[in-house]
Chain A
Amino acid sequence: MKRLVELTLTPKFDFDVPVEAEIISPDVFAGKPISEIGSLNVWVGNRKTRLSDAFEIQSSSKTSPETITIVLKGDLSRIRRIGKKMTTGSILIDGSAGFFLGEEMSGGSILVEGDVGSWTGSGMTGGKIEIKGDAGDYLTAGARGSCTGMKGGILIIHGDAGAELGYWMENGLITVKGSVGQFAGIHMRAGAILIEGNAGDRAGAGMTGGKIIILGNMNVLPTFFIDDVKNTTKIDGEKVSGPFYVFSGDVTEGGKGKLFVLKENNAHLSKFEKFIP
């Protein structure tokens, strides 16, 4: 068993332009001595910069790290694509992170103490991302225009999330402890989303499969039909107690997605009860 190695990166100055830092990933750093890691390139705006010129790099061990924890400190909200395509190891961000955090990651874990930008976990297939703060829009969505999304893994947000959460989601689990914006689970095909706060309008628009559980207030689209009232439901093997209104849709897409809405916080949906088949 290899000893855990901690690698700390601190920005040397405030970035006022976006930084493309897809090389900040345990897979890239593994097996490289500090000097070699420092000579990797990141794009600061339109300029290619050595990692060591942009960041202070410290390591707890002088040996070549293999199972790594990367710790990033300071304001990183302009740094994009941290942990791109990572398969193992972990990244701890003591602050906020920018767009495309953990893009296409398939393993390992990322923990963010602050907020994150949009497209976090874009097209991820595995691993775990946990965010203590708020998140932007298009979480786990694929590239703009493409019909792909999250294919696996876990995303947990303790704060609020923006619009179009879980766009074209194909598998995996998203948990939001706060509220979400409009179009949560748009075009969702499978997988599960748990929203503990309120959901914006049009949750589940165009969904053809999967499950969205909303514990807060929400408005259901007219293209969903009520199925049932259930006392409990399960998400990722864990029980969530209700009772819930269960809607299915989106019928415009011929979909069979399920929308579980907590009865307690949604008194305005009681008018649908008489339509339960």
Chain B
Amino acid sequence: MELLIKNGILYDPANSVNGEEVEICIKDGKVVEKINQRKAEIIDASDMLVMPGGVDIHSHIAGPKVNAGRLLCPEDHRTRVRCAECFRNCEIKSPITRSGTGCAVPSVFTTGHIYSGMGYTTVIEPASPPLKTLHTHEELNDIPLIDKACFLLFGNNWLVMDYIKEGRIEECAAYVGWVLRSVKGYAIKIVCPGGVESWGWGGNVHSMDDHVPYFDVTPRDIVRGLCKVNQLLNLPHTIHVHTINLGTPGNYRYLIETMDCVRDLQVEDEPVIHMTHCQFNSYGGVDWRSLSSKADEVAKYVNAHNHVTIDMGQIIFTQTVTMTGDGPFEYLLHQISGNKWMNTDLEVESGGGLVPIRYNRKNYVHAVMWTIGLELALLVKDPWRVFFSTDHPNGGPFINYPKVFAWLMSKKARDKVTKRLPRLARVRSNITSIDREYDFYELAIITRSATAKALKLQNKGHLGLGADADVSIYDLNPKEVDPSVDYKQVGKALFKTAYTIKGGEIVAKKGVIKKCKSGITFWVNPQVTEELNSSIMPELTEKFRDYYTINLQNYGVPENMLIDQQAIEVKSKV
């Protein structure tokens, strides 16, 4: 299969292509230098915006938590119908698509179809407890048209905390490597380090130096320990941290403290920590009434230190479902909102919770949250270190991404929302004083290139030679359209692609799915020395016998469970 994309206006920041007319030749799913033009299928992309396929670094699309959301919110299945009414063109049923429902927690096929129709080709599920990753992979297998991977939760793992307490970082690295290999994960995710374990006893950790009951470690120890583990294992992504005290007023200082606690571990100007959905962690004030934005403080820190990357976690005023491994936070949210609540505790490894929520423009707290996400993206100067996310579905369903793109690209669009916010939220926010507007080049960075770079997916997020032929072509002329004025047109155009090309094949045209194929699941295989590996096994067997309800032999995901997979072999330092 050969494809030639002609006359498109390409934005490929990884190769410093800024709005140039470039021909893209595709052969066998890869970008190549030259093809036989007579045989190739030609796509005329004149006056169209061409970008590499989108790479979403943080979107809860699969796993036990998401499935719990589907169970808890049957009303969401009806919302999908409503969404189809308001976004008439978001997904037109075609004979080859599988049916599905849901908006905040769509069913697996729908997830793939909508993402693909929007031009995304790689999506990462950011929180999967290792014990239940078999389920996550079952769902990932069924999500069509996008490549995917899942991060594994380690922040409250008893074994990890034991190792860190005893200072046995190398053994801990061997254990983490063993888990990643057994259950086919991609990176280390830390959710509320130590807090979810404390929640098992009805408590929480409130500072980086609080002790986790019965383990005698602090959140600081866990973050630092796992950061060292990450470096020893040489994993492609940094540690992915959802820090403590999420969603409480005045928590920005814990965000900064978390970032600061691994500063000395940086080597060669590479980032060592990724702070995720920072919007939920950039609050000032002492209570909800005095809640204010501290995005400026966070941005100041991020601008001054290059060992950290962040993503936005922007909220959108809509009905959604919050789901996180941070059990105590969900309980807090349940108490505040009075909405239905679901809590889970998973043996040894993690916990979690779910609460549906409606973000309301008239609500002071929600209005402040809305401003914080955008301020973060606009105040961090280097777009390569602030990624786009709504923490789907916590901040808003991914179907609403184009709305946020419009807010980032147009001050006029922001002002239109800002002037309808509560007066106090407007007055206390800096959003009106920020004039920065993203251009298409920067948009391509935060949604594609920077995320692929942070994940070290070499063939994603760019269209240089040898890259995977994942391309999104939008029916929008970036040379003529001024996004700061015609933000509505931009939002509409970015909502559905003219063509989505996945692995060298046209899978969607005008937002309608034309071809269904499964995507690849990436996982890392850290190569730890045989001695170290075998040295931890006796202890691991013993711990499994003591802690788990299942046997060591029954743990993990066999390779044949993953339909389409790519193992990334990494040479570890231990």
Interface assignment of A143: CB less than 8 Å from any CB of chain B: yes
Interface assignment of B33: CB less than 8 Å from any CB of chain A: no
Interface assignment of B562: CB less than 8 Å from any CB of chain A: no
What A residues does B467 contact at CB under 8 A? none
Interface assignment of B232: CB less than 8 Å from any CB of chain A: no
What B residues does A143 contact at CB under 8 A? 74-75, 78
Residue-wise, chain A 128-147 has the 8 Å CB interface mask toward B (1 for contact) of 00000000000000111111
Residue-wise, chain B 72-110 has the 8 Å CB interface mask toward A (1 for contact) of 111110100000000000000000000000000000000
Taking the closest CB of chain B, its distance from the CB of A148, in whole angstroms, is 8
Residue-wise, chain B 403-447 has the 8 Å CB interface mask toward A (1 for contact) of 000000000000000000000000000000000000000000000
What B residues does A146 contact at CB under 8 A? 75, 78
Taking the closest CB of chain A, its distance from the CB of B334, in whole angstroms, is 14
Interface residues of A (CB under 8 A from B): 142-147
Chain B's closest residue to A253 (CB) is B338
What A residues does B73 contact at CB under 8 A? 145
Taking the closest CB of chain B, its distance from the CB of A85, in whole angstroms, is 12
CA gap between A35 and B72 in the complex, in Å? 45
Taking the closest CB of chain A, its distance from the CB of B291, in whole angstroms, is 25
Chain B's closest residue to A142 (CB) is B75
What B residues does A147 contact at CB under 8 A? 339
Taking the closest CB of chain A, its distance from the CB of B338, in whole angstroms, is 9
* Count of chain B residues near A, Cβ 8 A: 7
Q: List 14 A-B contacts (CB under 8 A).
A: A142-B75, A143-B74, A143-B75, A143-B78, A144-B74, A144-B75, A145-B72, A145-B73, A145-B74, A145-B75, A145-B76, A146-B75, A146-B78, A147-B339
Chain B's closest residue to A144 (CB) is B74
What B residues does A144 contact at CB under 8 A? 74-75
Chain A's closest residue to B74 (CB) is A145
Residue-wise, chain B 159-176 has the 8 Å CB interface mask toward A (1 for contact) of 000000000000000000
B residues 23-81 touching A (CB-CB < 8 Å): 72-76, 78
3 tightest CB-CB pairs across the interface, nearest first?
Answer: A146-B75, A145-B74, A145-B75
Interface residues of B (CB under 8 A from A): 72-76, 78, 339
Taking the closest CB of chain A, its distance from the CB of B83, in whole angstroms, is 14
What A residues does B74 contact at CB under 8 A? 143-145
CA gap between A21 and B75 in the complex, in Å? 21
CA gap between A142 and B75 in the complex, in Å? 9
What A residues does B72 contact at CB under 8 A? 145
Query: In the complex, which of the residues B73, B75, B339 has the most CB atoms of chain A within 10 Å of its own CB atom?
Result: B75
Chain A's closest residue to B73 (CB) is A145
CA gap between A145 and B75 in the complex, in Å? 5
Taking the closest CB of chain A, its distance from the CB of B191, in whole angstroms, is 26
CA gap between A145 and B73 in the complex, in Å? 6
Taking the closest CB of chain B, its distance from the CB of A137, in whole angstroms, is 15
CA gap between A78 and B339 in the complex, in Å? 34
CA gap between A143 and B356 in the complex, in Å? 15
What A residues does B76 contact at CB under 8 A? 145
CA gap between A142 and B72 in the complex, in Å? 15
Taking the closest CB of chain B, its distance from the CB of A162, in whole angstroms, is 19
CA gap between A147 and B76 in the complex, in Å? 12
CA gap between A126 and B184 in the complex, in Å? 55
Chain A's closest residue to B72 (CB) is A145
CA gap between A267 and B311 in the complex, in Å? 65
CA gap between A145 and B72 in the complex, in Å? 7
What B residues does A142 contact at CB under 8 A? 75
CA gap between A143 and B80 in the complex, in Å? 13
CA gap between A145 and B79 in the complex, in Å? 12
CA gap between A142 and B78 in the complex, in Å? 11
CA gap between A145 and B74 in the complex, in Å? 5
Chain A's closest residue to B356 (CB) is A145
CA gap between A213 and B78 in the complex, in Å? 33
Taking the closest CB of chain B, its distance from the CB of A212, in whole angstroms, is 22
CA gap between A145 and B78 in the complex, in Å? 10
Query: In the complex, which of the residues A142, A143, A145, A147 has the most CB atoms of chain B within 10 Å of its own CB atom?
Result: A145
CA gap between A144 and B78 in the complex, in Å? 9
CA gap between A135 and B121 in the complex, in Å? 49
Taking the closest CB of chain B, its distance from the CB of A250, in whole angstroms, is 14
CA gap between A147 and B75 in the complex, in Å? 9
CA gap between A143 and B73 in the complex, in Å? 10
CA gap between A73 and B72 in the complex, in Å? 39
CA gap between A144 and B75 in the complex, in Å? 6
Chain B's closest residue to A146 (CB) is B75
Taking the closest CB of chain A, its distance from the CB of B101, in whole angstroms, is 12
Chain B's closest residue to A148 (CB) is B75
CA gap between A144 and B76 in the complex, in Å? 9
What A residues does B78 contact at CB under 8 A? 143, 146
What B residues does A145 contact at CB under 8 A? 72-76
What A residues does B75 contact at CB under 8 A? 142-146
Taking the closest CB of chain A, its distance from the CB of B77, in whole angstroms, is 8
CA gap between A144 and B72 in the complex, in Å? 10
Taking the closest CB of chain A, its distance from the CB of B339, in whole angstroms, is 8
CA gap between A146 and B339 in the complex, in Å? 10
Taking the closest CB of chain A, its distance from the CB of B320, in whole angstroms, is 14
Taking the closest CB of chain B, its distance from the CB of A168, in whole angstroms, is 11
CA gap between A33 and B74 in the complex, in Å? 39
CA gap between A180 and B74 in the complex, in Å? 25
11 A-B pairs besides A144-B74, A145-B73, A146-B78 with CB distance below 8 A are A142-B75, A143-B74, A143-B75, A143-B78, A144-B75, A145-B72, A145-B74, A145-B75, A145-B76, A146-B75, A147-B339
Chain A's closest residue to B339 (CB) is A147
Taking the closest CB of chain A, its distance from the CB of B341, in whole angstroms, is 13
CA gap between A99 and B508 in the complex, in Å? 37
CA gap between A147 and B356 in the complex, in Å? 11
Chain A's closest residue to B76 (CB) is A145
CA gap between A146 and B81 in the complex, in Å? 15
